[in-house]
Amino acid sequence: MSVERPRIALAGNPNVGKSTLFNALTGLRQHTGNWAGKTVATAKGEYRWRGVDYELIDLPGTYSLAAHSEEERVARDYIESGRAEVVVVVCDATCLERSLILVLQVLEFTGRVVVCVNLMDEAARLGVEVDVTALSDRLGVPVVAAAAGDGIGLDDLRCAIEKLVKGEGEPAPAPERAPEQRVSLAERYARQVLRGQEESRLRRQRRLDRLLTSKSTGIPIMLLLLGAVVWLTVAGANLPSALLTKLFASIGTWLEGLLAGAPAWLSGLLLDGVWRVTAWVVAVMLPPMAIFFPLFTLLEDLGYLPRVAFVLDHAFQKARTCGKQALCMCMSLGCNACGVTGCRIIDSPRERLIAILTSSLVPCNGKFPTLIALITLFFVGGRSGLLPSIEGAALLLGVLVLGVAGTLACSRFLSATVLKGMPSSFALELPPFRKPRVGQVLVRSVLDRTLFVLGRAVTVAAPAGAVIWLTANITVGDATILAHCTGFLDPFARLFGLDGVILMAFLLGWPANEIVLPVMLMAYLATGSLVEFDNLAALGQLLTQHGWTWLTAACTMLFSLFHWPCSTTCLTIYKETGSLKWTAAAVALPTALGLGLCLALNCAAHLLGVA
Amino acid sequence: MFETLRLSDLGEGESAYVKEVSARPGMDRRLTDLGLVPGTRVTCVLKSPAGDPRAYWIRGALIALRGSDAGGVRVERRLETVPAGVAVL
């Protein structure tokens, strides 16, 4: 067999730390988290060991190779094809018996297997030990103990792989067994190689589980946790945002000096258009994201997200969809495009499509700054301090809950109309709580998520800034292009409690939700450029001068919550569904909902005379 | 003393042994993959706020199942063989 560049496949149950092991071996940074189904596609990487390059393939996590779901098909096809010279089956030491069922099944396909018993550290905390030598004797293949999160056992694993690659002869696959036989064999092996008691520790886990999911405490704790995350984001982002704004203002002055000799249109385009919009996006977006993502990742690492899905499942059952949709919804909270990709964890095509179509109904991080600003200005009275920040967070939490309600209502609507059907079967694993690796979480969430999303926002904000500046500065007839457009949209927008400028801002904000507010300001100021605001009060004054009332703010927030997905999300939806029709539906659904709610609110307020 | 009931009828903290898995097509295989075969001991560990789904302790893992799926699993309670202290799990 060629040893040019041996291919090694990683297989295993979902959530056994396969991705962590993959990252540890290759030095790559695939997203990891404590819930089943994160690895939605096969990832490839490589590592070097004693002068030989190895290619490593991370297969999706599966409970079996029976090919019932997409992931199982992918994993089975890969292992069956014999493309991998060695298959590493990763086991969970805290749940060895179940892991062994898959090991036995893989052994029926190939004898070139290394078993890696991962999460030994967690098992030790639970008071459990695994006798790997005894297990190796029984399975007839090398078994390595590892704790991939701390880098323990990696070299042993690399050695075992090397031995198998260099070794002569072809170990024969095991004879095929019936599923029940596999289960009972796994049970016997597990009993023979496991030492220790896990009861006391498990009891503590159960207590926490009961607290997080019981009738009286489950939902209040969920709201409190989400509220706390939102409050920390709202309250914590203020100061760094102000500092960044100041910093960018001074850089702007310096750039101004640099461009002093340039023609007016060029410095206007670059400075007032590109630079100011980009600087705004970074200043208002970076701090909330840098707080929200790590907090969220901590909860994810702890294992809380599957509990959320468990608590919310009944509602999704009523909406006739999959309970795993709650996990996609959580992902959408960070970024709608991530939520859409995450929908791959849902097996049933019907339910997956529903989850994709409703993914943009929960507000992504990019909408937070606009929502926070409007809440602070119009509903908390522009005050600052501890109490107003709590009020603001409570209102933002309300907006999030409204988003969840919208998701459920639209899912039910789709289940009853174009995507008729009953919920399919699913089993959701609730993994043991893990102590979050705080340092790792911070680095990962800032580097991988925050900078990734920010980078994407900046790449669209810069050209968008140029386009906006051009529309606001090129005059056709008696007004600028932007003024023509807003004037044209105005009568229509008024029906929904908005105005032409607001609607235009949402249209121009298609590339990124973060730039909606800056576009509004540019249009209102009619100076054709974005003026920096040192404080929110000045912003509030400007909006009030242009006829904003609490109703305008409420309608704008509603429309911000429910309108077309951003361009990245639209593209992702198209990629995932492969259909222009469904992409169009994903645009139409939230837009119709948003316009409908704005119209209703506007009419109700006027009829009741509270506008 | 034997008592046969549906898995979905198990209350929080109650244990039983699987007698027969006849869930919907597709789901029965999935339950087998999770190790839920005749003779397996199952404990209902958690109830969600609405009472459905519930989470079951199956071969060292905590698995949430909806009532419509767990209803297809017949379990048998051997009343005299379930020791008192185990229900805490």
- Rounded CA separation A466/A477 (Å): 21
pLDDT per position as a tens digit, A472-482: 888 888 888 88
Would residue A286 count as lying in a domain? yes
**What's the pLDDT band for A457 if we cut at 50, 70, 90?**
confident
Q: Among A66, A430, A432, whose Cβ lies nearest the Cβ of B33?
A: A66
Taking an 8 Å cut-off on Cβ atoms, the answer to whether A425 and B49 are in contact is no
Helix or strand holding residue A210 (H, E): helix A199-213
The tally of domains found in chain A comes to 2
Do A286 and A153 share a structural domain? no
Domain CATH code at residue A129: 3.40.50.300
Return the number of CB contacts < 8 Å for A and B.
129
Would residue A205 count as lying in a domain? no
* E strand map for A14-108: 43-49, 52-58, 86-92
How close does chain A come to B75, measured CA to CA in Å?
A: 16
Would residue A2 count as lying in a domain? no
- Show the DSSP H helices in A140-195 as ranges: 154-166, 179-193
How close does chain B come to A418, measured CA to CA in Å?
A: 24
Do A508 and A407 share a structural domain? yes
Taking an 8 Å cut-off on Cβ atoms, the answer to whether A203 and B30 are in contact is no
Around Cβ B67, how many Cβ atoms within 10 Å? 17
Taking an 8 Å cut-off on Cβ atoms, the answer to whether B64 and A313 are in contact is yes
- Rounded CA separation A495/B54 (Å): 47
Do A468 and A498 share a structural domain? yes
How close does chain A come to B30, measured CA to CA in Å?
A: 8
Would residue B87 count as lying in a domain? no
pLDDT score, position A527? 60
Query: With pLDDT > 90 as the criterion, what percentage of chain A qualifies?
Result: 35
- Rounded CA separation A366/A468 (Å): 19
To which residue do tokens 């996990």 refer?
A: A327
β-partners of residue A145 are A117
pLDDT per position as a tens digit, A191-213: 888 887 656 667 788 889 999 99
Around Cβ A461, how many Cβ atoms within 10 Å? 25
Around Cβ A607, how many Cβ atoms within 10 Å? 9
pLDDT per position as a tens digit, A95-123: 898 899 999 999 998 889 999 999 998 88
Do A301 and A184 share a structural domain? no
- Whether the pLDDT of residue A343 is over 60: the answer is yes
Would residue B42 count as lying in a domain? yes
Is A252 buried (19+), middle (13-18) or exposed (0-12) by CB count in 10 A? middle
Instruction: State which residue of chain B sits closest to A348, comparing Cα positions.
Output: B26
pLDDT per position as a tens digit, A139-175: 999 999 999 888 899 999 999 998 888 876 677 788 8
Taking an 8 Å cut-off on Cβ atoms, the answer to whether B63 and A183 are in contact is no
Average pLDDT over all residues of chain A: 86
Do A409 and A284 share a structural domain? yes
Is A440 buried (19+), middle (13-18) or exposed (0-12) by CB count in 10 A? middle
- Rounded CA separation B88/A204 (Å): 11
Do A446 and A316 share a structural domain? yes
**Residue A164: closest CA among A190, A131, A136:** A136
pLDDT score, position A225? 92
pLDDT score, position A1? 46
Among A310, A351, A408, most B C-beta atoms within 10 A, so best to mutate, is A310
Q: Among B38, B40, B88, whose Cβ lies nearest the Cβ of A203?
A: B88
Sequence-distant (6+) residues with CB within 8 A of B86 are: B15, B43
Taking an 8 Å cut-off on Cβ atoms, the answer to whether B66 and A68 are in contact is no
Taking an 8 Å cut-off on Cβ atoms, the answer to whether A186 and B88 are in contact is no
Instruction: State which residue of chain A sits closest to B62, comparing Cα positions.
Output: A430
- Show the DSSP H helices in chain B as ranges: 27-33, 67-70
Would residue A448 count as lying in a domain? yes
* E strand map for A356-468: 427-429
* E strand map for B1-89: 2-6, 15-21, 41-47, 54-58, 61-65, 73-78
Would residue B88 count as lying in a domain? no
8-state DSSP, B58:
E
Range of the domain at A570: 218-421+433-607
**What's the pLDDT band for B77 if we cut at 50, 70, 90?**
confident
Look at residue A144 and give its three-state secondary structure. Answer: strand
Do A110 and A69 share a structural domain? yes
Among B30, B63, B69, B88, most A C-beta atoms within 10 A, so best to mutate, is B30
Do A153 and A285 share a structural domain? no
CA distances for A485 relative to A23, A77, A527, A588, angstroms: 50, 54, 16, 22
Of A130, A163, A197, the one marking the end of a domain is A197
Would residue B36 count as lying in a domain? yes
pLDDT per position as a tens digit, A507-564: 988 888 888 888 888 788 766 555 555 567 778 888 888 999 999 999 999 999 999 9
The tally of domains found in chain B comes to 1
B-chain residues within 8 Å CB-CB of A318? none
Q: What is the dihedral of CA A273, A275, A280, A283, to 10 degrees?
A: 180
Helix or strand holding residue A12 (H, E): strand A7-12
CA distances for A210 relative to A215, B41, B66, B79, angstroms: 9, 21, 18, 25
Token digits for A565?
A: 């997905």
Is B36 buried (19+), middle (13-18) or exposed (0-12) by CB count in 10 A? buried
Would residue B33 count as lying in a domain? yes
Range of the domain at B43: 2-82
pLDDT score, position A169? 66
pLDDT per position as a tens digit, A389-435: 888 889 999 999 999 999 999 999 999 998 988 877 778 889 888 88
A127 vs A529, residue with greater confidence: A127
pLDDT score, position A2? 47
Would residue A158 count as lying in a domain? yes
- Whether the pLDDT of residue B89 is over 50: the answer is no
Around Cβ A176, how many Cβ atoms within 10 Å? 10
pLDDT score, position A102? 93
B-chain residues within 8 Å CB-CB of A317? 52-53, 66
Do A488 and A554 share a structural domain? yes
Of A143, A168, A197, the one marking the end of a domain is A197
- Rounded CA separation A390/A388 (Å): 5
Sequence-distant (6+) residues with CB within 8 A of A404 are: A312, A329, A362
Token digits for A32?
A: 């990891």
Would residue B48 count as lying in a domain? yes
Domain CATH code at residue B19: 2.30.30.90
pLDDT score, position A84? 87
A-chain residues within 8 Å CB-CB of B53? 310, 313-314, 317, 323, 428
Token digits for A196?
A: 């220790």
pLDDT score, position A239? 84
**What's the pLDDT band for A38 if we cut at 50, 70, 90?**
low
- Rounded CA separation A584/A577 (Å): 11
Q: What is the average pLDDT across A331-358?
A: 88
Would residue B89 count as lying in a domain? no
